[in-house]
Amino acid sequence: MEIVHIPVMKEEVLSFLHPVSDDPVMIDCTTGEGGHTYAMLKAYPELKVIGLDRDSGIQAKAIERMKEFGNRFEPVNCWFNDYLEKAEDNSADMILFDLGISVYHYAESNRGFSFRKDEKLDMRLDLNQRLSAETIVNEYDEKELADLIYQYSEERYSRRIAKRIVEERKKGRITSSAALAEIISQSVPPAYRYARINPATRTFQALRIEVNRELDRITPALKEAVRVVKPGGRIAVITFHSLEDRQVKWFFKRNAEEEKQVKVLTKHPVVAGEEECSLNPPSRSAKLRVAEKTEGKHGKD
């Protein structure tokens, strides 16, 4: 089994998250290939980790990787917000969210996450759902496309890109990641087309977010996480772009000031060190925020 994803800020996560009970439980809300989970299980011999992931393909790799820990690793194939909504109050010592998309999805999933490959335009983490990137690109109207590209990626040429997509799909259905990347490239000015960042980067991000409702899940999940984690327990969140980080920052800040259920341990987000950034490029955009549950009022309303 080949592991292709390196966990971001593993040492920083280990330094912030630790058990607060004799029978500790951690919920890894985005297990992926299990890098953070593996490190935590190694560090704490009594720890049990409930590993959540909606993608059964990548979860199979985590299950194989965690065999040495036996029943200390419990995989659950689900969206993290759905799981936390049903979880019991004060049932976890630690909750971790690593909101980045795994390298596995770009390198091995064959679902069109990468604009550098010629793959079927899909981007679903849940292969049972109907909505895919192909559906969006071919069936959303021009305004819907432009709005979601701008809203979810802050792409300044969103309207030009949407217009070109609609024109091109009249000639035939757009079904591959390479075809879409070429359409985007031809939509933007030459200076933007040949800039350091590929012009398809933001649009592909926006499509992935829309397909998997990524931003819609964050705040509801954090609200439930506060209820589920034990007093003294901690919630750690790693984000990879400003739209995610903004939600996490303001949720923790408002909760700490108004509801007083948590105290924020990271006044400023923790970022990866220079050495990690050079060895693991995805870590360059990562931000880690951590909050600790207080003894205030908790539980479902």
Domains recognised in the chain with CATH numbers: 10-104+215-293 (3.40.50.150), 109-212 (1.10.150.170)
Question: Is residue 250 helix, strand or coil?
Answer: helix
- Give the pLDDT confidence score for residue 3 in this predicted structure: 62
Classified as helix, coil or strand, 299 is coil
**How much is the pLDDT for 86?**
98
From first to last of its 301 residues, what are the pLDDT tens digits of the chain? 666 678 999 999 999 999 999 999 999 999 999 999 999 999 999 999 999 999 999 999 999 999 999 999 999 999 999 999 999 999 999 999 999 888 889 989 999 999 999 999 999 999 999 999 999 999 999 999 999 999 999 999 999 999 999 999 999 999 999 999 999 999 999 999 999 899 999 999 999 999 999 999 999 999 999 999 999 999 999 999 999 999 999 999 999 999 999 999 999 999 999 999 999 988 999 999 999 999 755 555 5
In angstroms, the CA 101 to CA 32 distance is: 9
φ, ψ dihedrals at 115, nearest 5°: -80, -5
Q: Which residue has the tokens 């309303």?
A: 301
Cα 203 from Cα 208, distance rounded (Å): 9
Number of alpha carbons in the 13 Å side-chain half-sphere of residue 284: 6
CA distance 293 to 235: 8
Task: Check: CB of residue 53 under 8 Å from CB of residue 75.
Answer: yes
Read off the pTM: 0.94
Q: Is the dihedral of CA 253, 256, 259, 261 positive or negative?
A: positive
Residue 100 has what pLDDT? 83
Q: What is the pLDDT of residue 263?
A: 97
61-83 burial code (b ≥16 CB/10 A, e <16): bbbebbeebeeebebeebbbbbb
The pLDDT of residue 297: 54
Give the Cα separation of 187 and 3 in Å (integer).
36
């939600």: which residue's tokens? Answer: 247
Euclidean distance between CA atoms 162 and 59, whole angstroms: 34
**CA dist., res. 10 & res. 33, Å (int):** 13
**pLDDT in the model for residue 229:** 98
- What are the φ and ψ backbone dihedral angles of 250, each rounded to 5 degrees? -75, -30
> CB of 91 within 8 A of CB of 228?
yes
CA 243, 246, 252 angle in degrees (round to 5)?
A: 145
DSSP secondary structure of 192-210: HHTSSS-TTHHHHHHHHHH
Separation of alpha carbons 292 and 265, rounded Å = 7
- What is the C-alpha radius of gyration for the chain, rounded to an integer number of angstroms? 20
- pLDDT computed for residue 4 by the predictor: 66
Q: Using CA atoms, how far apart are residues 241 and 238, in angstroms rounded to an integer?
A: 10
